[in-house]
Amino acid sequence: MASQNRPLSPHLQVYKPQLTSVMSIMHRATGIALAVGTLLLVFWLIAAATGERTFGDIQAFNASLIGKLLLFGWSFALFYHLCNGIRHLFWDAGKGFGLEAAYRNGRLVVVASIALTVLSWVWGYASMGAL
Amino acid sequence: MSLRSPLGKVRGLGSAKEGVIHWWAQRMTAVALIPLLIWFVASIAAMAGADYGAFREWIATPVVSVLLVLMTIAVFHHAQLGLQVVLEDYVHTEWLKIAAIALVKFAAIGLAIASIFSIVKIALG
């Protein structure tokens, strides 16, 4: 079919990245990353149900450098998707949709998700007695 | 005047009478996940470094077990709804799209059942 070869809109490469568009793509990307991250949550619960040795293995993975990097990435993805998801819910209610408002609440989401990520890791290390 | 597109008429595809169910379910699971995920992350942060026994004891607390099951259902329902939209947007080969969406839904059900079974097993000791 000839229509199969039509160029599809939008052409992302001809646009200058803007806060609003980058944040929109980030919402999808973090959503996909979090869906993959559920695997670790499921393995963790299965390990807890299986026995102390299996649970120890997964905890050792979580404590490793690669494990910590993954958890840090997933924690940011979670807070970002959560905060931006709330922004989306306000939009669904027809609020905060103006150009200025969209930039303002966009910046708020970025700041809030970084702050919440840092806060949760500080809290985590504090409860381990590492601080 | 018909509101159906010419392509829709030719293919004979009418309304599935489902309307906004998918869209609405995505929003409702999102709303449910706001308190559930804040609770979960805060609990995990507060328990960082705890040993096996402490984690099992926490999961086995009735309120915690129920909240974890609720979170599991909301997470996997929300995730498969979202991934379905992503696949519908980017996969344009019909059979591949249908196969990928089916795979995502099977995986979501399997992973959700595995989580719930583990939680219940720990809770009932």
Contact flag B48-A31 (C-beta cutoff 8 Å): no
B75 touches chain A (CB under 8 A): yes
Q: Please check the confidence at residue B18 and state whether its pLDDT lies above 90.
A: no
Nearest chain A Cα distance for residue B56, angstroms: 7
d(CA A131, CA B71): 30
Out of B31, B42, B83, the one facing A89 most closely (by C-beta) is B31
Is residue B87 within 8 A of residue B108, CB to CB? The reply is: no
Nearest chain B Cα distance for residue A31, angstroms: 8
- Fill in the amino acid letter for A116: L
Alpha helices in A3-98 (DSSP H): 19-50, 52-63, 65-92
Query: What is the mean pLDDT of the segment spanning B94-115?
Result: 98
Cis peptide leading into B62, omega within 30 of 0? no
Is residue A15 very low, low, confident or very high in pLDDT (cuts 50, 70, 90)? confident
Q: How far is CA A53 from CA A58, A64, A97, B103, B124, in A?
A: 9, 17, 51, 31, 20
Ramachandran area for residue B99 (φ above 0: left; ψ -120 to 50: alpha; else beta):
alpha
d(CA B84, CA B104): 8
**Cβ contacts (< 8 Å) between A29 and chain B: which residues?**
none
B49 touches chain A (CB under 8 A): yes
Got the DSSP string for B23-77? HHHHHHHHHHHHHHHHHHHHHHHHHTT--HHHHHHHHHSHHHHHHHHHHHHHHHH
Is residue A130 very low, low, confident or very high in pLDDT (cuts 50, 70, 90)? confident
Which of A9, A39, A41, A45 is the mutation pick for testing B, counting most B CBs within 10 A? A45
pLDDT at A10: 66
d(CA B60, CA B82): 31
d(CA A106, CA A104): 5
Is residue A7 very low, low, confident or very high in pLDDT (cuts 50, 70, 90)? low
pLDDT at A3: 62
Is residue A72 very low, low, confident or very high in pLDDT (cuts 50, 70, 90)? very high
Query: What is the mean pLDDT of the segment spanning B28-32?
Result: 98
pLDDT at B98: 97
Q: Please check the confidence at residue A106 and state whether its pLDDT lies above 70.
A: yes
pLDDT at B6: 78
Least confident of A18-22, A31-35, A108-112: A18-22
Which of A4, A42, A121 is the mutation pick for testing B, counting most B CBs within 10 A? A42
Q: Dump pLDDT digits (tens) for A90-101.
A: 999 999 999 999
B70 touches chain A (CB under 8 A): no
Is residue A74 within 8 A of residue B37, CB to CB? The reply is: no
Query: Which domains, from first to last, does chain B contain?
Result: 20-123 (1.20.1300.10)
Instruction: Enter the tokens of residue A23.
Output: 């944040």
Least confident of A59-68, B1-10, B64-73, B85-94: B1-10
Q: Please check the confidence at residue A108 and state whether its pLDDT lies above 90.
A: yes
Out of A28, A85, A127, the one facing B48 most closely (by C-beta) is A127
> A54, exposed or middle or buried, with CB in 10 Å at 0-12, 13-18, 19+?
middle
Query: Which domains, from first to last, does chain A contain?
Result: 18-127 (1.20.1300.10)
Out of B34, B48, B86, the one facing A28 most closely (by C-beta) is B86
